[in-house]
Structure 1
Amino acid sequence: MDTNYRIAYDKGWQDLKQKDPAEVARSMDVRYIEEEQQLVVPFLNEIYTLDLKHQTITRKSAGQAPGIETAILILHYLSFFQSLAEPANKWVSLKEIPNGGSLFYPAFHKTAIQGLIKAYGQQPQLLLEYAPRLAGQPAAFGDASAVFQVFPKIPLCVVIWEGDEEIAANATILFDPSIAHFLHIESVIGLGGYLANKLIKLAQEQ
């Protein structure tokens, strides 16, 4: 395991274990099974169980541990919040997320957005075809768009504009501004990239 990932993973557990799990469940809309000391967390189209006593994470469908990136995002979702907050039910660009969104946008565009453009820019309808595999629902933006309930309190919206001989294809990932209450900016970017990579992989497999 990469050292930076291991540090982030261990810190995620450390931060989570400093919180009251019942409060975590109430605040982040997940389930706490007190007798088992377990948190049950929906993440995209999967359910994950965090065993607080044994400090393990298991994907329900496979009965095995998720990848390190998945695990870190789940831990950050459960441990970062400082107070109760609710989604604002609006959409903004990463550039509008405080604490570094505009600063990190160029790198995010290069790593996540350009991949979406390459995968879907000439065939935006494929987004609507593949989105349900990640529990995505059609939206009304661009030439094709879908909303993904990534975590119980975090929706993301992927939008594709079709390109032709005169106009270049384009794409974006939109965030509910409340995400700043639920994740620090590095995890916001990581979550957007995680969803983009899942969608790109679906397109590449076809």
Structure 2
Amino acid sequence: MTGIKFKHSLLCTTQGGIYLETNYRIAYDKGWDDLKQKTPEDIASTMDVTYLSDKQQFIVPYLNENYIADCIKQTIHKEADGTVPGIGAAILILHYLTFFQTETALVNKWVSLKEIPNGGMLFYPAFHKESIVGLIKAFGHQPSLLLECAKQIGGQPARFGDASAVFKVFPKIPLCVVIWEGDEEIAANATVLFDPSIEHLLHIESVIGLGGYLANKLIKLAAPETRRGHEIW
């Protein structure tokens, strides 16, 4: 398995709590194995992260927070308070550190998931159902709320739609969320946009996971009492 599956159904609940199914654990363990195959200094320079050679730790900026990837303990935690991210977020961090093959620059244009090669078009219907619909429900009739929520996680206002914001999710990966307001005659709409360079930085399933992570984060900020599925992020 090279990427994370986009379905929350990979988690199951029992009387004993929430258990991760095999696919997530395989992806997580493989991420650490892949990390061992790369030169830390190459990762740091190529992906714009910091490597502390004395501690064998990477400091990875991830949506307005720094995370520590400890190569000795094979653990990931938030630098500020030690919080451990959900398994999905941890896998995305590992994939960001390991998937790249060569130095890649931003193209500085925006495209939808459907335009990302190697499966974007195929996965788009599921992405729309799991993430875009939630954005429409949360912000489609109150687009200004997007800007309020975006500000809390480092988003900067953009000039698309009725409200939009750009997020530096990883140092080399920006995402843009756009909302079009609906009324009695026109349905509200939303989208998540990517820089085309992302195809060289993440596997397509991780591209989808990253877009879903950002959407889910914004939706929860808009309605913090609402929990969407299990906490894998």
Please indicate the TM-score interval, normalised by the length of the shorter structure.
over 0.9
Q: Tell me the amino acid that sits aligned with residue 161 of structure 1.
A: W
Deviations 1:26-74 (Å, cap 9, x if unpaired)?
1100001111111100000210011112211111122132111110000
* 2:35 is the counterpart of 1:19: no
Q: Tell me the amino acid that sits aligned with residue 96 of structure 1.
A: E
- Name the SS of the counterpart of 1:35 in structure 2: coil
2:122 match: 103
Question: For 2:224 and 2:52, how far apart are their aligned partners in 1?
Answer: 37
* 2:83 is the counterpart of 1:48: no
Which of 164, 172, 189 matches 1:170? 189
Question: For 2:155 and 2:21, how far apart are their aligned partners in 1?
Answer: 31
2:229 match: none
Deviations 1:119-144 (Å, cap 9, x if unpaired)?
00000000011101110000000000
- The range that moved more, 69-78 or 57-66, is 57-66
Higher helix share: 1
Which of 191, 195, 203 matches 2:214? 195
2:100 match: 81
Output aligned runs, 1:28-177, within 5 Å: 28-177=47-196
Deviations 1:76-130 (Å, cap 9, x if unpaired)?
0000001110111110010110001011111110100000000000000000111
- Name the SS of the counterpart of 1:127 in structure 2: helix
1:179 match: 198
- Gapped runs of 5+ residues in structure 1? none
Q: After TM superposition, where is structure 1 displaced by more than 6 Å over at least 4 residues in a row? A: none
Cα deviation for residue 21 of structure 1 reads 0.6
1:4 match: 23
Question: For 2:21 and 2:220, how far apart are their aligned partners in 1?
Answer: 22
- Gapped runs of 5+ residues in structure 2? 1-19, 226-233
Deviations 1:3-36 (Å, cap 9, x if unpaired)?
2111110011111111001100011000011111
Sequence identity, in percent?
71
Cα deviation for residue 2 of structure 1 reads 2.5
**TM-score of the superposition, structure 2-length normalised?**
0.87
Question: For 2:121 and 2:83, how far apart are their aligned partners in 1?
Answer: 37
Aligned residue-pair number = 206
- Name the SS of the counterpart of 1:205 in structure 2: coil
